[in-house]
Structure 1
Amino acid sequence: MTRGSPAFASDEIASAFAAFPEPERAGLLSLRSLIFETAAKTPAVGRLSEALKWGQPAYLTPETKSGSTIRLGIPKSGGFAIYTHCQTTLLTDFQILFPDDFQYEGNRAIHFCAGDGLPLEKLEILVRNALTYHLKK
């Protein structure tokens, strides 16, 4: 576990992370920590729920319903990724802010190469916007 991350919500989620290859797992755990840390310092989010959706770790805001689901996983092309709901404007809006800083998969994911450093300050903007997406509509 990394700083800011609680224990896994279930054995199934722990197993999902354990099944990710290294160093992709390290990157995904960093993104998991970022999601929990951002939720903790964003009062409107409330309790964050961790579940599996489509076999991938997913983060939801069930009490406040303030956010759109964030998922973490391994794309078919390799590396690792953070996914947002494709029917939101989350990635489109984020790409306007950072057009050349990330490898985007349309309006659904940002891909990362294993072992690369993550620009956590920039990614925190995406995570905060996802966790509060429904408050802005």
Structure 2
Amino acid sequence: MTTNIRITFANYPQQAQQQLEQVRELILAIAAEHTLGGVEETLKWGEASYSIKGGSPIRIDWKAKQAGAIKVFFHCQTQLVATFREIYPDAFIYEGNRAVVIPLDADIEQTPLKHCLLLALQYQSLKHLPLLGA
């Protein structure tokens, strides 16, 4: 984890930090498990951002205005969130075409987030497929 991201997360409530770190670890594990290449971890617009070659960037953050949840952001000009909404209509709270909202008390392992992150990390090779090949 970069120093900037560590500092950013440290300013959040403990439960938010834990959820964000769990999503981060999931992104890194998915990339390793599917041999997708190195994950670039940066801070963009004050949010932790993760990207790999051939994928679509993923950002994660907690916002004080919605203190009871974290958000996982996806590029708004992709079909990612629309696809997630189609195949997992009740799994998340969706924010437009750019984010899924995950309550702080949610068990991330019990959501389809892993599949959603995999689709984002493989986006360039899936974008031509109906429902991203899901």
TM category (shorter chain) comes to 0.7 to 0.9
Name the structure 2 match of 1:93: 83
8 Å CA contact retained: 2:70, 2:104: yes
Letter aligned with residue 81 of structure 1: K
Note the residue ranges of structure 1 that are not aligned, 5 or more in a row: 1-7
Flag the structure with higher helix content. Answer: 2
| TM value normalised by structure 1 | 0.85
Amino acid at match of 1:77: Q
- Could you tell me which amino acid in structure 1 is paired with residue 38 of structure 2? R
Residues 29-88 of structure 1: CA distance to partner in whole angstroms, max 9, x if unpaired? 111111011111112x21111000101100011xxx210100001243222111101110
Pairing of 1:112-127 with structure 2 (within 5 A): 112-119=102-109, 122-127=112-117
Unaligned runs of 5+ in 2: 128-134
> Match of 2:98?
108
- Give the 3-state SS of the residue equivalent to 2:66 in structure 1: coil
2:66 to 77, 89, 98: 77
Kindly report which structure 2 residues correspond to 1:1-137, keeping only aligned pairs within 5 A, or say none.
8=1, 10-43=2-35, 45-61=36-52, 65-75=53-63, 76-78=65-67, 79-119=69-109, 122-137=112-127
Give structure 1 regions of 4+ aligned residues with deviation exceeding 4 angstroms: none
The CA distance in 1 between the partners of 2:110 and 2:46, in whole Å, is 25
CA contact (8 A) 1:24 1:115 kept: no
User: Counterpart of 1:23 in 2: which secondary structure?
Assistant: helix
Question: What's the secondary structure of 1:51's corresponding residue?
Answer: strand
